[in-house]
Amino acid sequence: MQELIKKYNITKTFLRRYLKENAENRFGTELQRFMWYKEGKFLNPQKKDFYIESFIKEEIENFYEKNIFNIPQIAYCITTKCTLKCRDCNALIPKFNSVSHIEVDVEEFKRNLDKLCNSVNKIRHFVLIGGEPLMHPKLHEILEYTCQKSNIDIIRILSNGTIVPSQKLLDILSENNKKVYFYISNYAVNGEVKPLVKHDAIIERLKQANIKYQIIDNWSWYREYGFSQNKFSVSETICKVNQCSITNCIQLLNRKLDICPKASSARELGLIDINDYVDMNSSNLREDLINFYKRDYQQACQYCILNDGTVQPALQEK
Q: What is the DSSP string of the chain?
A: -HHHHHHTT--HHHIIIIIIHHHHHHHHHHHHHHHHH--S----GGGHHHHHHHHHHHHHHHHHHH---EEEEEEEE-B---S--BTT-TT-GGG--TTT--B--HHHHHHHHHHHHHHSSEEEEEEEESS-GGGSTTHHHHHHHHHT-TTEEEEEEEE-S-SPPPHHHHHHHHHTTTTEEEEE---TTSTTTGGG--HHHHHHHHHHTT--EEE-SS--EEE---B-SSPPPHHHHHHHHHH-SSTT--EEETTEEESSHHHHHHHHHTSS----SEETT-TTHHHHHHHHHH-S--HHHHHBPPPEEEE-TTPBP-
Among 62, 17, 1, 20, which Cα is nearest to 291's?
Answer: 17
Is residue 78 a contact partner of residue 130, using CB atoms and an 8 Å limit? Answer: yes
Q: For residue range 136-169, list pLDDT tens digits in order.
A: 999 999 999 999 999 999 999 999 999 999 999 9
Q: Is residue 266 part of a domain?
A: yes
- 148 located within any domain: yes
pLDDT band per the 50, 70, 90 thresholds, residue 6: very high
318 found inside a domain: no
166 near 202, Cβ under 8 Å?
no
Q: How many CB atoms lie within 10 A of CB 19?
A: 24
Return mean pLDDT, the chain.
95
Q: Would 17 be classed as within a structural domain?
A: no
Q: CA-to-CA distance for 300 and 312, rounded, in angstroms?
A: 26
Burial of 318 (0-12, 13-18, 19+ CB in 10 A): exposed
Which residue, among 65, 1, 59, 76, has the nearest Cα to 25 in the 3D structure?
Answer: 59
Query: Would you say residue 56 lies in a domain?
Result: no
Contacts of residue 256, defined as CB under 8 A and 6 or more positions apart, other chains included, come to 264, 267, 277, 278, 279, 280
CATH of the domain at 141: 3.20.20
CA 315 vs. chain centroid, Å, equals 22
- Domain membership of residue 238 as a residue range: 69-311
Q: Out of 9-23, 149-163, 301-315, which region has the weakest mean confidence (pLDDT)?
A: 301-315
Instruction: State yes or no: pLDDT of 279 exceeds 90.
Output: yes
Domain presence at residue 42? no
For residue 271, tell me if it sits in a domain. yes
Q: Are 94 and 85 in contact (CB under 8 A)?
A: yes
Instruction: Supply the pLDDT for residue 307.
Output: 84
Distances (CA, A) of 159 to 13, 241, 245: 31, 26, 20
Share of residues in the chain with pLDDT > 90 (%): 87
User: What per-residue confidence (pLDDT) applies to 318?
Assistant: 80
Number of folded domains that form the chain? 1
Per-residue pLDDT tens digits for 94-133: 999 999 999 999 999 999 999 999 999 999 999 999 999 9
Tell whether 19 is covered by a domain: no
- pLDDT value, residue 106: 98
Question: What is the rounded distance in angstroms from the CA atom of residue 66 to the CA atom of residue 59?
Answer: 10
